[in-house]
């Protein structure tokens, strides 16, 4: 693997900002990713725009192996001025360098090293960081029938592969009450804020074991002297299994008001199913064997709370191995970075994984 070429490609992607909420920036980014893929793979992708969000897919023959990545980042346009691309002492920095533009570079260079791409599909989405809401069906469609999905999200600490991820659910709980003057006749109101407080306590008690139910953003009321007629809370749910995701969903939808004159509305639900270890076990074992043959350090596995598009591929029954991308740290943080010396070995590992699955 030519590290100099890989770093040139990485810089090209990082300096093209691609904030998830900016569709014009995503269109520019998709064009850059498409051009880079064309240079390395010799083929143009299918560009699929859904609700203004551009996704890219390369398909070679009948796919048996799916490689998944995303080109959007959490960084607003202009971040590059504060945190510019840099390469010093073997460390690359810049918005999105770790999550997950280095993974895209490794994908293209791994596939470029193969004698044939027959049986390979590459999917690069544009909305992973905001829940893959426009790309979900595309991911599911691409994963069905494949023998393996390799997700080029950044590695866990120390380069560990991600063999399980919690599933996610997102809810918005809205409480409706009745407004009244807080000084003259508060008894004629139905305080949505107090009702919401009861519901927040009920929600926070739902988590157990590895399952977390976290009330996050709050809103409510209109003026300081008015009994709130409405109030609401967003809820972040992380679960280790489908059974837990279903349990929490039943509990959330079964919430009942405590105060007379109030009612509750529940929006949202399960977003990504969990990536359970059973889905990745065989592929992780294969990766460990290949790493030994390549003379790499023994691979480690990690279970993480964050979700990715790997949750979706696993959810349709496709064996999935995640975290095959960059080694480094600082995802979504100013100190985001990639240890560039690790990129060639990780790229060779991916190439051998694809080759091995295609042979079976």
Q: Are 100 and 344 in contact (CB under 8 A)?
A: no
Contact predicate 348/110, CB 8 Å: yes
Neighbour count for residue 159 (Cβ, 10 Å) = 20
Contacts of 281 (CB under 8 A, 6+ apart): 163
- With a CB cutoff of 8 Å and minimum separation 6, the contacts of 137 are none
Catalytic residue list contains 51: no
Name the nearest CA neighbour of 104 among 4, 12, 25.
12
Per-residue CA distances from 150 to 37, 191, 194, 349 (Å): 17, 50, 47, 11
Give the integer Cα–Cα distance in Å for 242 and 211.
Answer: 11
What is the maximum span of the chain, computed from C-alpha positions, in angstroms? 81
Point out the catalytic residue in the list 9, 11, 17, 128.
128
Q: How far apart are CA 350 and CA 353, in angstroms?
A: 5
Catalytic residue among 9, 11, 17, 72: 72
Distance CA 28, CA 30 (A): 5
9 is catalytic: no
If DSSP codes are grouped into helix, strand and coil, which group holds residue 8? helix
Can you list the positions of beta strands (E) in the chain?
Answer: 46-50, 53-60, 65-70, 86-88, 91-93, 120-125, 148-151, 161-165, 167-176, 212-220, 230-239, 263-272, 301-304, 320-321, 328-329, 337-339
- The set of catalytic residues is 72, 128
């Amino acid at each position: 693997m030519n590290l100099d070429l890989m770093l040139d490609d990485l810089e090209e992607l990082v300096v093209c900002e691609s904030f998830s909420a900016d569709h014009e920036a995503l269109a520019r980014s998709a064009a850059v990713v498409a051009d880079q893929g064309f240079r390395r793979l010799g083929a143009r992708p299918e560009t699929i725009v859904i609700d203004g969000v551009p996704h890219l897919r390369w398909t070679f023959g009948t796919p048996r192996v799916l490689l998944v990545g995303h080109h959007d980042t959490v960084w607003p346009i202009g971040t590059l001025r504060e945190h510019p691309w840099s390469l010093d002492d073997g460390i690359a920095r810049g918005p999105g360098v770790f999550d997950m533009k280095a993974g895209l570079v490794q994908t293209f260079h791994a596939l470029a090293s193969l004698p044939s791409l027959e049986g390979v599909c590459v999917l690069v989405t544009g909305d992973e960081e905001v829940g893959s809401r426009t790309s979900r069906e595309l991911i599911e469609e691409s994963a069905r029938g494949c023998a393996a999905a390799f997700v080029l999200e950044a590695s866990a600490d120390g380069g560990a592969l991600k063999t399980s991820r919690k599933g996610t659910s997102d809810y918005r709980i809205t409480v409706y009450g009745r407004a009244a003057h807080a000084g003259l006749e508060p008894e004629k109101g139905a305080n949505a804020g107090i009702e919401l407080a009861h519901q927040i306590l009920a929600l926070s008690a739902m988590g157990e074991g590895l399952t977390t139910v976290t009330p996050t953003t709050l809103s409510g009321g209109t003026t300081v002297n008015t009994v709130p007629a409405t109030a609401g809370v967003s809820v972040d749910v992380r679960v280790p299994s489908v059974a837990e995701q279903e349990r929490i969903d039943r509990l959330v939808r079964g919430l009942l008001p405590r105060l007379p004159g109030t009612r509750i509305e529940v929006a949202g639900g399960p977003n990504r199913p969990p990536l359970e270890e059973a889905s990745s076990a065989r592929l992780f074992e294969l990766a460990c064997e290949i790493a030994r043959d390549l003379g790499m350090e023994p691979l480690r596995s990690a279970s993480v709370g964050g979700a990715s598009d790997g949750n979706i591929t696993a959810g349709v029954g496709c064996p999935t191995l995640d975290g095959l991308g960059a080694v480094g740290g600082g995802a979504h943080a100013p100190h985001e970075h990639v240890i560039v010396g690790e990129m060639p070995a990780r790229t060779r590992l991916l190439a051998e994984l694809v080759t091995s699955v295609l042979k079976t």
